[in-house]
Structure 1
């Protein structure tokens, strides 16, 4: 690291758990953030400020006036612009040393597999079960850690699904993809603005820990936040041995040994 980087990241470097070695890992890391809205905004902003070397943002939506109440990567002047491009501008202003790729597209399974393969960690900041399951399948197949967050009304949740650990659950173990879950949208249910900041920042924290290999992640745990009463609840999540995603992947991997 040069003198400017040593100064910029000095408060990280002062932490014994991080130090220069941990910061160098961040500088060399690649993060994939899917969704540049309420969760993706704070998550990506903290990844950039922390010095993650390359961030890929994926979002096919445009900035709307109703987004600005909570999607802090965007501004009034950018209404109508692609969210991925708007967020890229914000991240570059925060940290011009971070390389940011903005993809204005709706990714299919093949594209997800390609993007996940290039990443060291994946952050799911989307708002629908179909996309979450698609991202989960790609992460399990690509053996990449997934940091998943969700917020609606006054309720938030976050967990980590890390297929590298062996025996850890995936997103489909917790929310089986063959079950019907009703997608609830902020446009109809509403969302308390600061909660997406809380959960998005926690997603960034979990991603940074995974990249540096420090601390214990939320793998195997689901953290739920009741924002109205400001109460956290943590529950254990076990792997489903009959899961069609991670159990099938394990069998496939064993058969090729």
Structure 2
């Protein structure tokens, strides 16, 4: 073992990065977005951690600007789940909303809570959006249904953790994610065809493509480390040394890929926003 694909969640990265780095292992996540893993004065991850998706300091402002400028939202209720990912994303979104003149109300629920009826009763009738940075899509589904049941006009806007068209599918709701649809990218067609052949009947989601990209980065870094060692891998840490220099021309999510010169994050990463349609399908709206 010379590299790790993952961890997938921000909490898992924070809990394991020191151990993985001490073992000399590069760990490349396709989905952990907590900002403090790679940025700030108290970074939770080590220099051995890399991610191929942008972080919540990108997601929060992206979501907030869409609410304010595209949806013309005047009042937004933000509900965090009292855990670091959720609180951090809610904070980033709320700060940008306030800067854009949007009225915000902050609520919190326990991370294990699955009934939001009591919170929904607190949502003012003139609220436009309820922002739900949860990590479980069924909870966003329940929240959206309970808003409807109580006659609230507000639409749910979920973060990347709620992106699952099988589990969060209330029409009119919104979802942001670090991966847009890839089926329109010409050089991805062969990859998709191969995946469909091996996974008949399965639906291509948003989390698989970044995982493929993380594997590409890992293999490229290993190849570079072996080349530097004249055909031999000097050590696990030789892989860590090479990850940052990896560049991929035809990136599975579109365009090209390289890391930021300042952090172990992708350069110019962006989030895609979807709206859930009447048939439950996710339509790109930004």
TM bracket (short chain) = 0.3 to 0.5
TM-score (norm 2): 0.33
TM-score (norm 1): 0.36
Q: Name the structure where helix makes up a greater proportion of residues.
A: 1
